[in-house]
Amino acid sequence: MAEMPAPNGTGRGVIVRAERIGKTYGERVVTEVLKGIDFELKQGEFCALTGPSGSGKTTFLNLVGLLDQPTNGRILIDGQDTGALSDAARTDLRGTRLGFVFQFHHLLPAFTALENVMMPLLAQHGRPAAWMREKAAALLDEVGLSERARYRVTDLSGGQQQRVAVARALVADPMLVLADEPTGNLDTETSSQVMELLRDSNRHRGTAFLIVTHDEGISSQCPRVIHMVDGRVDWERNDSPT
Ligand SMILES: Nc1ncnc2c1ncn2[C@@H]1O[C@H](COP(=O)(O)OP(=O)(O)O)[C@@H](O)[C@H]1O
Ligand SMILES: [Mg+2]
């Protein structure tokens, strides 16, 4: 599928804008984890976030994902200044615009693959409905797991579990998926399959991705890479089409 043209023809729209983001932890002993990060992500971008352990990647991702709030600066998602929103509005924005994939899939072990994929829709709309089941089934098909829909996630392999997690992240049609070391727990071959799946979703659905990885084999294949060191952006490479 072709990339969606921006409505005004001036290139793709900005979906995330972070301005001078700072984050400190602690009160008596203050640790400055993020030291003024400026960042912009456009519709449909596929961007890796790299850097040594402790450089602030997860902290930054959690801020963009509205799971935490910055100490300084502001974050705009889809044009909305998220610092000005109520908790309910932030939760709603997170549920409708963002999807998440974590290193350890965070699936609910007592439930089937299908039920896990349905979960974000259920959380958003309250009660189960037939369309949610259909939507979840379609997503499991998309990630190549239709025959495993009724399996408990504990009966699936690590790679399959991560595919379920990807389907779950996409089920509510987010504009952006945030992934924190999504292949950190997988062998090389399974890692590249999961990465391919993310890239396919990016190409076919136009979903933007921001992916934390310390695997250079993975980041080298991403059109855009942001490298963090010590709470700052150290360098950036961007070969995305504009
Ligand atoms: N809740 C917290 N309280 C105190 N320090 C934290 C907290 N979360 C992260 N840190 C510190 O912030 C730094 C960056 O952590 P993190 O964002 O997890 O880095 P990365 O994901 O790049 O490994 C680390 O030094 C870590 O110890
Ligand atoms: Mg981390």
Strand order in the sheet with 224-229: 98-101, 176-180, 208-212, 46-50, 224-229, 232-238
Under the banding of pLDDT at 50, 70 and 90, the label for residue 2 is: very low
Residue nearest atom 8 in ligand 1 by C-alpha distance: 59
Class at the top of the CATH hierarchy for domain 44-68+84-238: alpha beta
User: Per residue in 133-178, pLDDT tens?
Assistant: 999 999 999 999 999 999 999 999 999 999 999 999 999 999 999 9
Task: Reduce the DSSP state of residue 82 to 3 states and report it.
Answer: helix
pLDDT at 1: 44
The rounded mean pLDDT for the chain is 93
pLDDT at 12: 81
**Residue 210, H or E segment:** strand 208-212
Mutate to test the pocket of ligand 1, among 23, 24, 25 (most ligand atoms within 8 A of CB): 25
Ligand 1 pocket, 112 CB below 6 A?
Answer: no
Rounded Cα–Cα distance for residues 153 and 161 (Å) = 6
Which residues, by Cβ under 5 Å, contact ligand 2, an ion?
A: 57-58
pLDDT at 103: 84
Per domain, the residue ranges of the chain are 44-68+84-238
Ligand 1 pocket, 30 CB below 6 A?
Answer: no
Rounded Cα–Cα distance for residues 28 and 25 (Å) = 10
User: Per residue in 68-108, pLDDT tens?
Assistant: 999 999 999 999 999 999 999 999 999 999 999 988 878 99
pLDDT at 8: 47
The answer to whether residue 124 scores a pLDDT higher than 80 is yes
Ligand 1 pocket, 57 CB below 6 A?
Answer: yes
Ligand 1 pocket, 131 CB below 6 A?
Answer: no
**Which residue reads 């990060």 in tokens?**
37
Structural contact between residues 94 and 66, judged by C-beta atoms closer than 8 angstroms? yes
Q: What is the pTM of this model?
A: 0.93
Structural contact between residues 104 and 169, judged by C-beta atoms closer than 8 angstroms? no
Considering only CA atoms, give the Rg of the chain.
18
Structural contact between residues 172 and 131, judged by C-beta atoms closer than 8 angstroms? no
- Residue type at 54? G
